[in-house]
Amino acid sequence: MLLLVLPVSAAALTVCIKEIMSAPVVNGVVASGLPSAGCMPDAVWAGVSPGEFQPGSTAPRAHIYQAFATTSNTFAIGITVNGDEDLSDFDYVSFFFDADNSNSYNAGDFVIRIQARGLPTPVSSGVACNEPAGNVEYFQWDPGSSGWQSTTAPATVQVATAYDFDSSPDPDNKVWNLELSLPIGPSAFNLQTASPFFGIGGYVFIDDGHEQAPQVGQVRKWPGSITASPGVSAIDPAFSQPNASELADASLADVCFDVNFTAANPWRVNSMAAAAFDAHIDRNVPNNFTVTFYFAGPGVTGPLANQGTVTLGLTPYGNILTGSQYTWEKSTVIDAGTVNAATSVTFTFDFGNPPANWSDFGQINFICATMRLSNFQRDDDDTNNSLSVNHNEFTTSEFTQPIFITAAGVPGLRPGSSTTILLRTELKNEGVRAGGGGDAGLRMGLGPFRTSAGLVPWLGALTICLLMIVLWRYRMLGRRVSLALAILLMLSVFAGCPTPGPISPESEGWEFGNARQLGLEPVRGEPGWYTLPIRQREVKRLDVVFRDMPIAHPTRSVRLEPARNREPNIVRVPVRPGQVVGLFSTGTVDVDGPNGRLQPTSANGFVQREIDEGFMLQDGYYTGSEYTGALIGSFDGFRTSFPVGRSTALIVPQRASTLALAVNATRNQFGVISGAFDITLVNPPPLQVPTFTTVEGDGTFQAPLRLDTWEVLTSLNVYTYYETVENDSIGNVISRTRQPLGFTHQVIFDTHVTPVVGEPARPGGGR
């Protein structure tokens, strides 16, 4: 049974701005990485936790960093944007400030609007930092007119930008950063009023194509509690003004607490990590669902009362369109108890006695789960109190992948009516073909309707699907003569249940097999964009066919048997600080041996409540018993360690030279444990600034920074959108704003080329 989760709208937000000793040097570089030609990272930003502009997790993706330098009374703000096709003078960033946090606009409140590029020509290639921004404009609230008046700022705002639109030498591109510095005080930007908080919120206006008739693009807003949805051309504060009560409550003192779902493996089913097609949910009997959350705060780890409510809701779906919509919900009150530690709660749902509304349970194919945290005594940021990501894993022997799309997520679409949605496709880090080189060696061919056949590689692929997208298993179509069998290993991440979503083509490595039948058409002048007509309750299936997909980076494979001579078996991999290491694991281990009562587990492991000590993964930052049988890693010989799981991409911390891999078990279990993990290691180039935001980990040995695998490895990425149109007073179209629906990422981490008889294997084809 497939498990999915539903996204939940964000609530109002409290932000504790990071205290720093010295303000960062304003050179436009925000997200951390290694130095590049002429561009230097700033260690200040590496210690700041970013917030994400909404809608999140789709392209383009934007984050905000905030820090306050106590010695110079400087408020520093950093913006990162990833997935933008270019940087232009049509891109804007604007911030609204409720200076006294009165939740209404009055004298002293102000807006800062920044033009991201000062030159009229967009840039879509090259790497640069310390670039001047365009106009920096200051607006002050005028109580007399109850509106915003453009005026002279009370102090100089320092602003710089940086960008990277090259896919080499590091894998990131389509990235830009913006950095600004505000002097704080009565004679400057006065945010130190009688209130300990001030309100802050804003937008990133992301232009696409640099057109004015009409302008096309997208808008991201922060915090997610802002309900206003301005169009991409609505940069005037009067047209984009959010409700002051919806701004984030920001404090310049770093004293905030937070409960969230950043704990590794935050939910499990019957003690096992949730996975697609693993059948962890049993019909007609009680099932245990474990929710794990994290209590974060300033200071050292220790006991601290923090009582609140944990809620888990399950919603069944019989099929895409007709399943029950009733949510079966349970809650419990719990004391988190310890700051900077994880807490687990187990809910039991008796599927032998489901609610009456679940009368069609026999036809249910999958369940959506929503986990929520509420009413905690110490929780200053409640935008992250709902879990909307779930990892589901499966294997398949297909080279044709079906993806199902509906228009159910388009607002206001009436039954029986039709609309057109947009698909955007992007192939990243695709490697080198025989006779060609990297990105430049790829050709458009005939778009979605035909590409050259060539040899079919054996692919190890990771598919990440979120929000609208559901992939179903489908048997392999008949293969052509001279094509080798493609084997895909995929990891799917789903959210936005129950609606499914898309995929598209612009290289020789893949195609839409049924584009003509579906009416898929390229958007003129916008490579990688397509339109798809669809009716309100229609389900459309896209067939994505992979052909001869190269990978950009070398791989190596190791087999990890969990024990030798009844002792932990450790695989050691040489690494360098700043290096990116991708790890993908298949296989299972059985911690109590083939004759024990426990079931084999994947590299994600499972929760073993009856044993709470003696694990290879030491308690502290993680709880060892919650990762029984999991693949774990260490950069210091297992003095500290961390879960690896079935797939991840790590940034090697400073001073690390060896990555050690092992299976998490107790000493007694190492005497009987059986099975093995087959691990593929991929080493893409390290990230150089300017780069994009990493949001997981803190860069230490026990919590190394983690990247989305599709950002740094060979991947096919597809996004879906619907459009909203803004007209002027006489009906002319001013702008078309593309609103995200969903996306899918397919990450290829290994390849094997089987040659046609008489033809040599291609370079890099086998391992």
Is it the case that residue 291 has pLDDT exceeding 50? yes
Q: Does 548 share its domain with 571? A: no
167-190 average pLDDT score: 91
Q: Cα(368)–Cα(323) distance, rounded to whole angstroms?
A: 11
* Euclidean distance between CA atoms 754 and 115, whole angstroms: 52
Check: CB of residue 136 under 8 Å from CB of residue 99. no
Return the CATH number at 663: 2.60.120.430
Asked which of 199, 223, 246 is the last residue of a domain, the reply is: 246
Q: How far is 465 from 482, CA to CA, in rounded Å?
A: 31
* Same domain as 561, residue 526: no
| Residue 161: CATH number of its domain | 2.60.40.1190
**Where is pLDDT greater, at 490 or 134?**
134
Q: What percent of the chain has pLDDT over 70?
A: 78
Split at pLDDT 50, 70, 90, the class of 639 is very high
Residue 763 within any structural domain of the chain: no
Q: What's the CATH code of the domain at 361?
A: 2.60.40
Average pLDDT over residues 306-310: 94
* Listed residue (274, 174, 127, 190) closest to 711, CA to CA: 174
DSSP 104: S
81 and 217 both lie in a single domain: yes
Whether pLDDT at 472 is above 70:
no
DSSP characters over 345-361 = EEEEEETTS--GGGTTG
User: Does a structural domain hold residue 467?
Assistant: yes
Please determine, for residue 570, whether its predicted confidence score (pLDDT) is greater than 90: yes
Rounded CA separation 53/76 (Å): 17
Say yes or no: 330 and 416 in one domain: no
Q: Is residue 548 part of a domain?
A: yes
- Preceding peptide of 214 cis, ω within 30°: yes
Domain for residue 27, yes or no? yes
Same domain, 603 and 460: no
User: Residue 756 contacts by C-beta under 8 Å, 6 or more apart in sequence?
Assistant: 455, 482
Share of the chain above pLDDT 90, in %: 47
Residues 522 and 664 in one domain: no
In a domain, 666, yes or no: yes
How far is the C-alpha of 585 from the C-alpha of 711, rounded, in Å? 19
pTM of the model: 0.75
Which of 186, 217, 246 terminates a domain? The answer is 246
- Upper half-sphere CA count for residue 125 (Cβ side, 13 Å): 2
Better-scored residue on pLDDT, 767 or 286: 286
The segment with the largest mean pLDDT, out of 292-301, 524-533, 741-750, is: 524-533
Same domain, 199 and 59: yes
Give the pLDDT score at 751.
Answer: 63
What is the identity of the amino acid at 312? L
* Token pair listed for 561: 């048997």
Q: Are strands 2-5 and 366-374 parallel, antiparallel or unpaired?
A: parallel
Strands, E assignment, 429-479: 457-466, 470-471
Same domain, 523 and 562: no
Please list the residues that pair with 628 across neighbouring strands. 606
Binning pLDDT at 50, 70 and 90, where does residue 618 land? confident
Same domain, 266 and 364: yes
Q: Do 262 and 173 belong together in one domain?
A: no
Whole-number Å distance between alpha carbons of 737 and 60: 13
Given a contact cutoff of 8 angstroms between Cβ atoms, the answer to whether 397 and 456 are in contact is no
The stretch 200-205 carries a mean pLDDT of 98
- Residue at 688 is within a domain: no
Residue 135 has pLDDT above 90, yes or no: yes
Q: Where does a domain end: 194, 226, 246?
A: 246
Contact assessment for residue 333 and residue 349, using Cβ atoms and an 8 Å cutoff: no
Return the structure tokens found at 216: 């096309």
pLDDT averaged over the chain? 80
Longest dimension (CA), the chain: 84
Note whether residue 708 is domain-resident: no
Question: Domain for residue 74, yes or no?
Answer: yes
For the segment 404-413, the average pLDDT, to the nearest whole number, is: 81
- In the prediction, which pLDDT does 695 show? 67
Q: Which of 6-10, 280-284, 561-565, 713-717 has the lowest mean pLDDT?
A: 6-10
What is the tens place of the pLDDT at every residue in 410-433?
A: 888 888 899 999 999 988 887 644
Domain count, the chain: 4
| Spatial CA neighbour of 405 closest among 394, 420, 391 | 420
Mean pLDDT of 560-576: 96
Distance CA 32, CA 753 (A): 36
Q: Are residues 546 and 562 in the same domain?
A: no
Residues 6+ apart with CB under 8 A from 514: 541, 542, 543
347 with 444, same domain?
A: no
Measure the CA–CA gap between 214 and 315, rounded to whole angstroms.
42
**Among 74-78, 696-700, 758-762, which stretch is predicted with the lowest mean pLDDT?**
758-762
Nearest to 111 by CA among 89, 130, 136, 134: 136
What is the model's pLDDT at position 749? 75
pLDDT digits (tens, 9 = 90+) for 665-711: 999 999 999 999 999 999 888 889 999 987 677 778 888 988 888 88
- Place 194 in a pLDDT band, splitting at 50, 70 and 90: low
Mean pLDDT score, 443-472: 32
Q: Which structural domain, as residue segments, surrounds residue 400?
A: 393-552+713-753
pLDDT, greater one: 618 or 343: 343
Would you state the structure tokens that stand for residue 12, as one six-digit string? Answer: 């109002």
